[in-house]
């Protein structure tokens, strides 16, 4: 039981099996997306649940991130008289990194966990078996709408986080710390490029898919009653969060050359 080599082996096997399982589910989702019936209603319902209902959380997260970025940046820049760069720094940090990453993490906490819990409960109460028995493919019915809702809403939420974060930075920089408004905006326009914003949104697109897929996968494979559902939910949040952070590094190194 405490044999270190055996436990490394076990962990590796589990890791490979889980990644393989998720990859298989991903391909099933892609294939089943094009199979009728198209479940538009379920898709819209999930857009509401994952997207619309996450708006307030994401706005608050974006706002305070932008504000604290401005505050911290100001004290750093003041040491060498670089306050004029504050607007550009806040905007770049947000659109490239913090917007997509924090949105991904907040949506994971709010919706990814709920997806795992809901699908997990359906698994342990045999509702998923009931779907299968009624000749309804559970991946088609449960996973496809959630996956695409995540893929579409997380970038949209990221835009909101970016915008309100920059507004927060503006409030702290220009109104509270009295940096010249013209310079704040001009430097931001000069240094932030469209590719910065787009690459940030590509990240959000990937994070949206990852967090819904992981939530669905963990719920789908939940076992052993309420305890199993709790465990699936925890694992979904932990794995999604780590995947988002690790994926962020990989995407940054690929996208921003």
Partner 1 sequence: MMIKIVDLHKRFGDQEVLRGVNLDIPEGKITFIMGRSGTGKSVLLKHIIGLLEPDSGQILIDGKDITTMSEKELAEIRKRFGMLFQEGALFDSMTVGENVAFPLREHTKLSEEEIWARVRAKLAQVGLLKDIDKMPSELSGGMKKRAALARALALDPEVVLFDEPTTGLDPIMQMSIAQLIKETKESHNLTCVVISHDIPVAFAAADKIAFLHEGVIIEEGPPEKIKESKHPFVQEFLRALKCPSL
Position 7 contacts partner 1 (CB under 8 A):
no
How distant, in Å, are the alpha carbons of 63, 137, 149, 200, 252 from that of 255?
26, 36, 24, 9, 5
Asked if 135 interacts with partner 1 (CB under 8 A), we say: yes
1, 5, 134, 194: which one binds partner 1 (CB under 8 A)? 134
What contacts 35, CB < 8 A, 6 or more positions away? 140
Is cis: bond before 12, omega within 30 of 0? no
**What is the nearest approach in angstroms of partner 1 to the Cβ of residue 145?**
13
The residue within the footprint of partner 1, chosen from 14, 132, 181, 195 (CB under 8 A), is 132
Q: Could you say whether residue 137 binds partner 1 (CB under 8 A)?
A: yes
CB of 110 to partner 1, least distance (A): 18
What does each C-alpha distance from 30 to 33, 89, 132 come to in angstroms? 5, 38, 19
Closest to 101 in 3D by CA, of 254, 241, 253:
241
Query: How far is 47 from 49, CA to CA, in rounded Å?
Result: 6
Per-residue string for binding with partner 1, 41-80, x by CB under 8 A?
A: ----------------------------------------
17-46 residues in contact with partner 1 (CB under 8 A) are 37
Contact 151, 209 (CB under 8 A): yes
Neighbours of 15 (CB within 10 A): 10
**Interactions with partner 1, residue window 95-124 (CB under 8 A):** 121-122
Nearer Cβ to partner 1 (35/78): 35
Applying CB under 8 A, does 130 fall inside the site for partner 1?
Answer: yes
Supply the minimum distance, in Å, between the C-beta of residue 35 and partner 1: 11
Q: In whole angstroms, give the CA distance from residue 183 to residue 197.
A: 21
136, 175, 176, 226: residue in contact with partner 1 (rule CB under 8 A): 136
Q: Decide: is 13 part of the binding site for partner 1 (CB under 8 A).
A: no
């Amino acid at each position: 039981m405490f044999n270190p080599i055996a436990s490394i082996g076990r962990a590796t096997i589990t890791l490979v099996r889980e990644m393989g399982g998720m990859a298989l589910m991903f391909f099933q989702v892609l294939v089943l997306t094009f199979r009728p019936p198209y479940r538009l209603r379920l898709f819209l319902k999930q857009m509401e649940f994952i997207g619309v209902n996450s708006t307030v959380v994401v706005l608050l997260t974006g706002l305070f991130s932008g504000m604290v970025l401005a505050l911290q940046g100001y004290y750093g820049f003041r040491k060498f008289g670089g306050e004029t760069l504050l607007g550009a720094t806040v905007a770049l940090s947000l659109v490239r990194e913090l917007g997509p990453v924090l949105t991904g993490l907040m949506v994971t906490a709010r919706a990814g966990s709920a997806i795992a819990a809901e699908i997990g409960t359906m698994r342990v109460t045999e509702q998923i078996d009931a779907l299968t028995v009624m000749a309804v493919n559970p991946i088609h019915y449960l996973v496809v709408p959630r996956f695409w809702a995540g893929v579409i809403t997380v970038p949209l939420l990221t835009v909101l986080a970016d915008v309100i974060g920059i507004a927060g930075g503006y409030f702290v920089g220009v109104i509270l710390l009295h940096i010249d408004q013209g310079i704040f905006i001009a430097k931001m326009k000069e240094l932030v490029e469209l590719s910065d914003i787009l690459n940030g949104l590509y990240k959000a697109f990937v994070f949206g898919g990852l967090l819904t897929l992981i939530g669905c996968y963990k719920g789908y494979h939940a076992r052993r009653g309420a305890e199993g559902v709790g465990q699936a939910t925890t694992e979904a949040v932990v794995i999604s969060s780590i995947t988002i952070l690790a994926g962020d590094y990989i995407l940054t190194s690929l996208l921003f050359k």
